[in-house]
Structure 1
């Protein structure tokens, strides 16, 4: 391990990253709250402003992945489809196997210029996560309680609201509903047996209702579905904690563009189509495990410097006041005050990031998918 790698692995670096993210995020949240009056007289302007503000938060995750960790992301896709990425609205269907799959999704969005406006269907609990929750609220992210009778009207209305969105956006769906674990997979395949569906080796059965509702309500405003399948080389098991410590991973992403008009409109037909899609995704994962690559050519997309520049600006902006305060305390000679202040800042950063990391850890993932599969 070199000196740089050793420094990145130290707890103090993780604490500083957490402090910068928390401080900058709260500042951006405050600015987002200041846009509330703008919504009343110019909703589209408010949306555009909030896309830029959200980018200032989520781009830090991209900087962590691409620049701090140095994780390499390789894209497998049809070169003919490449010019369309970022130039159209799309629904992205991504497998949910890894703790940092959402960060890889952010990186993919950033490289095609849609990070600030990207959307996702997520569980309601995430609306209360500090920084991220309020950012997503102003981005009009679609939250659900995973109870269809309660979600039906709210989700449809939220999706309808996106039809006149002023920025190109990608709407991310984890159709499996929860992260893959052996226990959830076992239960999911029991459901497959009951429904007469083929077994999946590397995925859970997709939840078809949410996909169908999303497709139906975004028809006419979304051009395609991007079928995205993610894996990591050499059986790597990436974690958010690993990224914080500067650990480098190697991600491979296979993306297929499927025109939205090719997806059936009927609910039963759409469900059958999605099940077939996941059988194909399972085949792609099996091929990757056996050969170390996905089908199709590799398209090189370089990481962009924007996230790094924004991250460095945040470091300067957030850490400078802290440095001034610490120097002032040193000059005052108040050792107890200095130690107490450092301890409070460190504890706040540590607790905040440990809590966020806990939200991504597979071992602490929700029991959704274990308690029963009520809705397909």
Structure 2
């Protein structure tokens, strides 16, 4: 089986490239109609989300056939609905996280939207497809820039509000990896190893999005992903070397005390950061429990 793994990986990558190209060809004509005829924006968005969901379903099918990764789910999976607005937060250990996340959540909740970096717009096919299906572009200023010019914080909030405005009329799921980057041992050491399995969470992006949606996001989906056999690379996953993945899902309401002026209100900022830190301590313990349960 090990001798076959590189060939499985090549076949998997070929299928990913093929499905991206097909999805792009289906998405762009609809996106062009949406751009030229604003009155058709909502029906076009529905069509685009269906295309994107079908693309995910196709990728999930060949993942199940080729990689045979077993995903063990626990928690509140039965509480999810396609008729509600969700904010999904998750730990981030590998590019595989995204593949597993959309594979599990697709068609269980409204189609997911990731904030993506502006640089990805220039990736052929993928960047244009993300733009066409209204993935919000992340262009936030750094802490140093905001410190020099506090008015930039308001610009970031306004930009996030404009990005989220299109989500107000139909149920949507917005995904935020609070660590802001994938876990590596070097990054973990540089941050002081506050958590055993996680990097420190960045609360600002989550606070900005909740404020921008102004109460429209009603449920928080706290996703914990664990790899009991070690953090894999995307190539490991494509080759079928990732045998087991654990995912725990916790659903909780987004209460009024979580919506406020994060850059301008020091008391709210301290409260929100404390709440996020508590979530992350619990998540770190949950990752440990999921790994230990597999190893018994």
Query: What is the TM-score of this pair, normalised by structure 1?
Result: 0.66
Q: Which of these two proteins has the greater Rg computed from alpha carbons?
A: 1
Partner SS, residue 206 of structure 1:
coil
Q: Which residue of 2 is the match for residue 277 of structure 1?
A: 279
Partner SS, residue 62 of structure 1:
helix
**8 Å contact from structure 2 (residues 34, 40) kept in 1:** no
Q: Which residue of 2 is the match for residue 96 of structure 1?
A: 92
Partner SS, residue 166 of structure 2:
helix
Q: Which residue of 2 is the match for residue 110 of structure 1?
A: 106
**8 Å contact from structure 1 (residues 9, 246) kept in 2:** no
Q: Which residue of 2 is the match for residue 182 of structure 1?
A: 185
Q: For 1:96-128, what per-residue CA distance to the aligned partner results, in whole angstroms no more than 9, with x for missing partners? A: 0122100011112215153xx211122222222
Partner SS, residue 251 of structure 1:
strand
Unpaired stretches in structure 2, ≥5 consecutive residues: 143-151, 260-267
Q: Which residue of 1 is the match for residue 149 of structure 2?
A: none
**8 Å contact from structure 1 (residues 29, 131) kept in 2:** no
RMSD: 2.7
Alignment of 1:1-376 (within 5 A): 1=1, 6=4, 9=7, 13-14=11-12, 16-37=14-35, 39-78=37-76, 82-112=78-108, 114=110, 117-148=111-142, 149=152, 151-164=156-169, 166=170, 168-189=171-192, 199-233=194-228, 235-261=229-255, 263-265=257-259, 266-292=268-294
Q: For 1:223-244, what per-residue CA distance to the aligned partner results, in whole angstroms no more than 9, with x for missing partners? A: 21111100123x2433322333
**8 Å contact from structure 2 (residues 161, 213) kept in 1:** no
CA 1:249/1:111 → structure 2, altered by over 3 Å: closer, same or farther? farther
CA 1:19/1:184 → structure 2, altered by over 3 Å: closer, same or farther? closer
Q: For 1:24-54, what per-residue CA distance to the aligned partner results, in whole angstroms no more than 9, with x for missing partners? A: 1331243344333564222211211211222
**8 Å contact from structure 1 (residues 32, 50) kept in 2:** yes
Tell me by how many angstroms 1:12 deviates. 5.9
The list of structure 1 runs, each at least 4 consecutive aligned residues, that deviate by more than 4 angstroms after superposition, is none
For 2:75 and 2:232, how far apart are their aligned partners in 1? 23
For 2:200 and 2:33, how far apart are their aligned partners in 1? 41
Unpaired stretches in structure 1, ≥5 consecutive residues: 191-198, 294-376
For 1:143 and 1:60, how far apart are their aligned partners in 2? 25
For 2:39 and 2:4, how far apart are their aligned partners in 1? 52
CA 1:40/1:120 → structure 2, altered by over 3 Å: closer, same or farther? same
